Chain A
Amino acid sequence: MKKGKVQKLALLLMALLLPVLRAAAQAANEPEMADALRQSGKIYVVVAVIAVVLAGLLAFLITLDRKISRLEKEVRD
């Protein structure tokens, strides 16, 4: 009887632990992504910098567009 109990406990432990181990092994086999960068939140710094650079360049383009419009008006007159 006692042996049966131990066996049952071992089975229960295995049932609980094996899926976890399997998941861990799977994660190791999965292609590597920049998960750490995302977890630490530093990715937002990169995104913010790129967004500011792009916004600055686009703002420059808009002012250039306006300047050309003004020149067109002047030349027309």
Chain B
Amino acid sequence: MKNNWWKALAVVLLLYVAVAGLLLPVPRLAILNESIRNLYFHVPMWFGMTAVLSASVYYSVRYLRTPTPRLDILSHEAAKTGICMGFVGLATGSIWAKYTWGAWWTNDPKLNGAAIAMLIYGAYLVLRSSFQDEQQRARISAIYNIFAFAAAMPLFFILPRLTASLHPGAGGNPAFAKYDLDSNMRLVFYPAVIGWTLLGFWLAQLASRVAFLKQKVYDKQLA
């Protein structure tokens, strides 16, 4: 239980976000109206995704230095969790866009950048599944994972800022300046980011532990 305090923290923060996210006051803005509360759920997906994918790259680098199946599993499961959060981020963003911009998808640099980045990560999964040899699979997907991260992060966070965009946080303006200046929203937004990020790590950890178990059982059966 000593090492699981962060899971308890995740539970507390997420329950707090669900309650306070709906009840605490938010700025009264035209068009956004109450949908501004999506900030507590849509944006933390991307924060969580970035954190979990960073962990995945960390394990990939470590794998290339000391190749062990353990590091390969950790990197793979973290990448899968991050990809899942990214797709949830795209889906929630699309719903929000429909009711504020009037379309499920717009040809916006921020949106298309995120979509391309997700496709790059989709290719990671395809690449991984196309190897028979375990060591080859682990090594090449570790290398690709590093490239995918290096290509995806500018697409998410740098390129959209260089052009005009509907999306907050693009076209030069950080997303926080506009809505988040409101200190009431900060009270929920920061806990939301921490809580959802911790949940991402929790899911990645559980998936990894199941994969470790599976590997151990296979090894025992072979022995």
Contact = CB atoms under 8 A, between A and B. Distances in A.
Contacts of A46: 22
Given A31-B29, A33-B28, A47-B19, A64 B206 contact: yes
Given A30-B28, A65-B206, A68-B210, A47 B18 contact: yes
B79 interface: no
B216 A54 contact: no
Contacts of B33: 31-34
A9 interface: no
Contacts of B14: 54, 58
Given A58-B14, A65-B4, 8 more contacts: A31-B31, A31-B33, A50-B22, A51-B15, A58-B11, A61-B202, A68-B210, A75-B216
Contacts of A54: 14-15, 18
Interface string B182-223: 000000000000000000001100100110110011001000
Interface string A42-56: 010011001100110
Interface of B: 4, 7, 11, 14-15, 18-19, 22-23, 28-34, 202-203, 206, 209-210, 212-213, 216-217, 220
Interface of A: 30-34, 43, 46-47, 50-51, 54-55, 58, 61-62, 64-65, 68, 71-72, 75
B6 to A, nearest CB: 12
Contacts of B202: 61, 65
B206 A51 contact: no
Contacts of B29: 31
Instruction: List 7 A-B pairs, minimum CB-CB distance, nearest first.
Output: A31-B30, A31-B28, A34-B34, A58-B11, A50-B18, A47-B22, A68-B209
Nearest to A50: B18
B22 A43 contact: yes
A58 B213 CA distance: 22
30 contacts: A30-B28, A31-B29, A31-B30, A31-B33, A33-B28, A33-B33, A34-B33, A34-B34, A43-B23, A47-B22, A47-B23, A50-B22, A51-B15, A54-B15, A54-B18, A61-B202, A61-B206, A62-B7, A62-B11, A64-B206, A65-B4, A65-B7, A65-B202, A68-B206, A71-B213, A72-B209, A72-B212, A72-B213, A75-B216, A75-B217
